[in-house]
Chains A and B, each alone.
Chain A
């Protein structure tokens, strides 16, 4: 499903019907899936359609830029160790239109169940999108319309053993890449003095993957930092 298309366009795949239909000089955008349906008129538009995986923090409402991935089984890490694990994360599908004037997000939808959670306490914690994933030591098989793969490089500078049960990442730092088989992210979790910090690498998991269009763009502000400091425990 992901890629670049030209008008007019009709896609009927994985339970999603999506079309850009010509209506005189304009186009009508229609999308139908389990989540619901959307119809939009695109006036004096456009040349290209981009269907890309985007940061999974837009549906059902954009309430937070943070994603918490709960591990189905916790990971125990020895002191001063470095280990790479693989997790799955939910994929949201972004439909962009593109012209010489730039790109515009027309629609976002997800085929996954959505949940939210609080990381920390309600009084001083952070609202996060919630996702539960098994922990893999190799790249797991995924349906790219539903799930992506997060390669997480864990580095511990701690002198004690650690048990990691979750990871929180910021959408502002996500650099999503995709190809026909997979949607992927490369991230890191650095633990020092008991405090963990997550970040992303601007590199594909495999060669030949295409960089997805970003919806969350970091501003020059600490509140929209690309890194996430896990102050409320791992």
Chain B
């Protein structure tokens, strides 16, 4: 019978067929189970946890299937261990970075300094975490670029997670003229902050005169907002503050310098142009 024909060593065509069937069944089972797990866990766990579990199950099924078929292909696992010892040394030296990346990937999954969907900065590359794989982490930068960073680099790099906390603070420095009423300006700014629904009551916003600058009295404004909305609040409030101050006659001054002419006996001050 053709299926009993020896292909090599003691491996027959039937063995190869069984190996093929086992691998196809294993891959199908892994795929099917992945789809089932994704649906089953969708409402119960975060996307990140689902992906970790699905991959773990996926790789485990494939690994078990490969271990099952190796003896059928005439590969003795105990022999492989001896050979693996020697080859392992050679491969180990050659694949230091691969192993390093894998181990770093495992530590990243366990330690979880970043999660899928987080806005982060990894060693100067800022973006949204698209995926944390066993070898690498992928980011989508804010201008839409795909960046793959090896896990070893991610693990050893300085990571800034912009969304790890529920609230985030932003700051403006508003300069007003020396002739303007700083208390009135502070009151106006405080009212605008209070009226905005997404500026937080606690931690409290801070508005105070921070410094007496060369050209202006500098008011510092510190506001906390929910992390999900801080940028839109930041973008919206600055312009509203500028408009509200101008409406009340408080101006944000341009840099200006008073010049005294030495040869003028009356030392007439040349007024700054009214801009």
Contacts and interface: CB of A to CB of B under 8 A. Distances in A.
B117 to A, nearest CB: 16
Given A60-B197, A117-B202, A122 B167 contact: yes
Name the residue in B167, B168, B199, B203 with the highest tally of chain A Cβ atoms < 10 Å from its Cβ: B167
Contact of A63 (B168, B199, B201, B228): B228
A125 B164 CA distance: 12
A122 B44 contact: no
Contacts of B43: 219, 221
B162 to A, nearest CB: 13
A125 B166 contact: yes
B197 A118 contact: no
Interface in A45-60: 60
B201 A122 contact: no
Contacts of B228: 63
Contact of B197 (A70, A116, A125): A116
Interface string B211-248: 00000000000001010110000000000000000000
A193 interface: no
A134 B200 CA distance: 20
B226 A116 contact: yes
Contacts of B201: 70, 115-117, 130
Q: Chain A: interface secondary structure? A: loop
Contacts of B179: none
A122 B169 CA distance: 10
Contact of A118 (B44, B166, B195, B198): B166
Interface string A203-234: 00000000000000001010000000000000
Tier of interface size on chain A? 10 to 19
Interface residues of B, number: 18
A127 interface: yes
A214 to B, nearest CB: 18
B165 interface: yes
Interface string A113-152: 1111110001101110010000000000000000000000
B241 to A, nearest CB: 18
A61 to B, nearest CB: 7
Contacts of B165: 122-123
A130 B167 CA distance: 14
Interface of B: 43-44, 165-168, 195, 197-203, 224, 226, 228-229
8 contacts: A61-B198, A117-B200, A118-B203, A118-B224, A125-B166, A127-B166, A130-B202, A221-B44
Given A115-B201, A118-B167, 11 more contacts: A63-B229, A115-B197, A116-B200, A116-B201, A118-B166, A125-B166, A125-B167, A127-B226, A130-B202, A219-B43, A221-B43
8 tightest CB-CB pairs across the interface, nearest first? A114-B197, A117-B201, A122-B167, A122-B165, A117-B202, A130-B201, A127-B166, A60-B197
